[in-house]
Structure 1
Amino acid sequence: MTQTWSPRRVAILGASGLTGAGLAHQLSLADEYDEILLFDLKENVLQAHAIDMREAQIVAGRTRARLTVLPLDEAVAQTPVDLVVFAASRPETPDGSREAFLEGNLGVLRAVQPAISALAGESGLVMILTNPADVLATCLAHLSDIDPARIFGYCLNDSIRFTAAIARELKLDPTRIDALVVGEHGDGQVPVWSGLRLDGAPLELTADQRARIDADARGWFRRWSDLRPGRSSGWTTPLGSARTIAGLAADEPMPVAVWRRDAEGNGSHTTLLAVVRDGAVVPTPLDYLDDAERAAVDEASAALADKASRAGALTH
């Protein structure tokens, strides 16, 4: 019998930022975790976060999870954990793109890679929260000795935004809709039109409806950037990350950037439904995709492998 993955100790690198701190807060209010280790260069901010979160735990009546603040340079000396979360990021800039974050955030990833490897040990999983999560997950697989199947990227937001776009088009409550995006977190995203469900029943859309929904969902990042908020999605991403971790722990297939190889043998982390099996994050069978969607996923995988390769070449 396959043993269910049960993360009890979680380490978050980049825990002073909006998404890292938000995830720490979400996990601290759950009863499933024993200890959450917080690392960041801004140790004073972490200490303040920890004080605030501990008091929030009292308000919520959820005090099981222990919050531990440690200097980043002590990460390599810690006992390995069940899950390492990489949430450190360079500041978002106006008029940027997901690709524009890659070079700067890859530099951050390179700097903390020894800490990630030490904290993951021989069996811990690694979750990439930093944009672009799929490309950075693939880069980490090349930068470290961690099995690529133990690394996965957070990508639930694409499915959430697709669901929201459908709800706007049809003027429906989005909680009635089941929608999924796979492929790349970016231009190569693949909406799974064949799997749309409304109240559990198949949902058919016209070509015009699909075109408007697709433009709406793909235009999210530009609309967000035009607001010039100077930050990432600080509520959706932490809550979605906590939901992803809980789903994987419950043996529920979740959309994450998961390691796969194409027909030529090139590997990349591509968003697919995945589960944890024997210490690895593995994609479920692709029978939820039609032929066109599978072909689009293959194209996305090849593009992601190329982006990771070119990013690695730029930083050598």
Structure 2
Amino acid sequence: MISIVGSGRVGTSIGFLCVSNGLDDVLLVNRDKRKAIGEALDVASAIPENSKFTIRGTDDYSQISGSDIVVITASVGVYMKDRTENIVLQVRMIKEIAQKIKQYCPSAVVLIVSNPLDVLTYFFQKESTIPRFKVIGIASSLDTSRFRYLISETLSVPQSSISNAIVLGEHGDSMVPVFSRVTVGGNPLFSMIDNRDTITDGVRNYWKKLRNFKSRSQFGIAKNTFDVIDSIVHKKEIIIPASVVLQGEYGESDVAMGVPVKINQNGISEIQKIKLDDTESSSLKKSSVKIRNDIQSIHT
């Protein structure tokens, strides 16, 4: 069973993708029981006729017992200027959810989607004591999708011609698009652009531009999260950037941030080490400092 905590647009979209693709039974958990039930009733109409799975809604955490995967999309409110706006309330929320998951399904693989992503991934893992490789923050893969899209738009080339685009670090203003590895049609990206600043700013502020036209992002993060769920359910490996609590990798410890990982049915099987240029290494260090400062602001 796949349990999704939070029945807003993102949580419901993830549930829709799981159900319409016949992955597994889905449980929507929401503090507003009527909201969870209503969304489940709506998504249920997308169940394929040959599927043996269903979807339900509840406000009762005990029903997540036995879940193989738990996705957390819950939020205490909408942020407008920065993903850390509601950090204190969000950390309090994630700790409460962590206790529920520790109680009812401590062996589940947990996917964190709520913001501030890296801070919440860190506090969930510490509060739940679930092994760090089974607590995965899903966001850097979304930033990577946006990075690839902006390269495509800048150069007027199809995304299929772009290889090795990746974004590391914070899911926030200090995220680090890695230009040095990108090729377009087999040629280095650096041979096609004057500098990296415009695209970097575009990736970091993508959500702000999107919000000029709609209330918040929905489908991109839902698809990126679904891809991870699909890899776990079908026991196939996927390599993406994702946030995980680090213990020495990339020279960082006691912080969670986006790094390249290999995921299989058990969660993260490997943190991959990739070569960065000096600018990217320096930016990644600054990003880790930003996340650590946000984490420490909760301790004081």
User: Which TM-score applies when normalising by structure 1?
Assistant: 0.83
Question: Structure 2: how far apart are the matches of 1:312 and 1:85?
Answer: 25
Number of residue-to-residue matches in the alignment: 295
Amino acid at match of 1:43: K
Q: C-alpha root-mean-square deviation of aligned residues, in Å?
A: 2.6
Question: Structure 2: how far apart are the matches of 1:200 and 1:104?
Answer: 46
Q: Any idea what SS the aligned residue of 1:181 has?
A: strand
The corresponding residue for 2:149 is: 164
Amino acid at match of 2:37: Q
- Tell me how far 1:258 sits from its aligned partner: 1.7
Question: Structure 2: how far apart are the matches of 1:159 and 1:277?
Answer: 20
- Tell me how far 1:77 sits from its aligned partner: 5.9
- In the TM superposition, structure 1's runs of 4+ consecutive aligned residues that sit over 6 Å from their partners are none
The corresponding residue for 2:72 is: 86
Question: Structure 2: how far apart are the matches of 1:119 and 1:24?
Answer: 20
Question: Structure 2: how far apart are the matches of 1:206 and 1:247?
Answer: 34
Query: Please, which of 35, 40, 47 is the counterpart of residue 50 of structure 1?
Result: 40
Q: Which runs of 5+ in 1 are unaligned?
A: 1-8
Matches within 5 A, 1:35-46: 35-46=25-36
Query: Please, which of 262, 281, 294 is the counterpart of residue 307 of structure 1?
Result: 294
- Tell me how far 1:275 sits from its aligned partner: 1.8
Matched, 1:176 2:164: no
Amino acid at match of 1:106: V
Amino acid at match of 1:65: F
The corresponding residue for 2:90 is: 105
Q: Any idea what SS the aligned residue of 1:166 has?
A: helix
Question: Structure 2: how far apart are the matches of 1:132 and 1:191?
Answer: 18
- Tell me how far 1:165 sits from its aligned partner: 1.6
Question: Structure 1: how far apart are the matches of 2:155 and 2:38?
Answer: 44
Structure of higher RCO (CA pairs closer than 8 Å, 6+ residues apart): 1
Question: Structure 2: how far apart are the matches of 1:284 and 1:262?
Answer: 11
Matches within 5 A, 1:1-316: 9-14=1-6, 16-33=7-24, 35-58=25-48, 61=49, 63-72=51-60, 75-76=61-62, 78-94=64-80, 96-121=81-106, 123-155=107-139, 156-178=141-163, 179-199=165-185, 202-205=188-191, 208-225=194-211, 227=212, 229=214, 231-247=215-231, 249-262=235-248, 266-276=253-263, 279-313=266-300
Deviations, residues 47-77 of structure 1 (Å, cap 9, x unaligned): 222222221124xx452322132323xx146
- Tell me how far 1:168 sits from its aligned partner: 1.9
User: Which TM-score applies when normalising by structure 2?
Assistant: 0.87
Q: Which runs of 5+ in 2 are unaligned?
A: none
Q: Any idea what SS the aligned residue of 1:27 has?
A: helix
- Tell me how far 1:256 sits from its aligned partner: 0.9
Deviations, residues 19-50 of structure 1 (Å, cap 9, x unaligned): 011100011112332x2121112222222222
Q: Any idea what SS the aligned residue of 1:253 has?
A: strand
Question: Quick check: 1:11–1:119 contact (8 Å CA) kept in 2?
Answer: no
Question: Structure 2: how far apart are the matches of 1:281 and 1:268?
Answer: 16
